[in-house]
Amino acid sequence: MSAHLVLIDALNLIRRIYAVQERPFLFNNELAENTKKQVLFNTQKACGQALTKILEHLQPSHVLAVFDSEKPCWRYELFPDYKKGRKKMAAHLAACLPDIQDELMKQQVDSLIPEEDEADDIIATLAIKMALKDQNVTIVSTDKGFLSLLGPHIGVYDHFNRRHLDTNFVLSKFNVKPQQLMDLWTLTGDNTNKIPGVAGIGQVTAAQLLNQYGSLKSILEATDIKATLANKLAEHKEQIALSQELITLKKDIPLGFNLKDIRLSS
């Protein structure tokens, strides 16, 4: 029997829901102490309601909410400026995460909190393992990085805009195929995670190069690229290698559970 696994990028969902719940109570970009408890309660309930809608729409056989490790992941060791400047999760929201996990569990959805990995890498590993067995996976997230995994058995669903993101979406937004996205962002950089690219190469140029040569490897090996571009690539050779490693999702993380552990009972 064919399975349909839904993988929820938990912090992506929770942080966006929290931002909506917090907004009406903000004053000078601060949240009063006496309203934090109410905002957290509203967030917890809204996460449960969002999960109900996700389950009703996607009709999965298996579901898992995947969180980031509480420890800094391996990318920080390679590149200390990874995600530099990104606003940290509010301490009161971080303290409430176990309550939100309990809220999800009311609908039989367990949470996975890895010891040292980012949710992105865990989700990519699970998605690829399922796809290789011809089983279907839907990733619930607004994180663009998951678009690189799109394929016959892997889909991405944006719960907030109620839309399935597919190959046509990627082509219209980035002008490359899903499997070329990691190469695109290696060249342009990933500003969301503060990963630098090649100075002077933007999305248009990067997409043109990938459409002409097919892959970053072929671009770097090409002998007919105009001199100015070839010089930029040569000057940023080490940066390209580092950025590619940082951007690429791991797909081989050991997982310590069985699919039957996250099956929804009918």
**Is residue 66 a known part of a binding site?**
no
Residues in Cβ contact with 144 at an 8 Å cutoff, skipping those fewer than 6 apart: 181, 192
Tell me the two tokens of residue 146: 């998951």
Q: Which residue has the tokens 């949710």?
A: 119
Beta bridge partners of 163: 158
**Is residue 196 a known part of a binding site?**
yes
| 8 A C-beta contact, residue 5 and residue 137 | yes
**Is residue 78 a known part of a binding site?**
no
Nearest to 145 by CA among 52, 75, 56: 75
Sequence letter at residue 101: Q
**Is residue 187 a known part of a binding site?**
yes
Number of neighbours of residue 74 by Cβ within 10 angstroms: 17
Residue 103 belongs to what H/E stretch?
helix 91-105
> Going along 109-242, which residue ranges are E strands?
110-112, 136-140, 154-158, 163-165
CA end-to-end span of the chain: 14
**Is residue 198 a known part of a binding site?**
yes
Residue positions forming the annotated binding site for K(+): 187, 196, 198, 201
Residue positions forming the annotated binding site: 120, 187, 196, 198, 201
Residue positions forming the annotated binding site for Mg(2+): 120
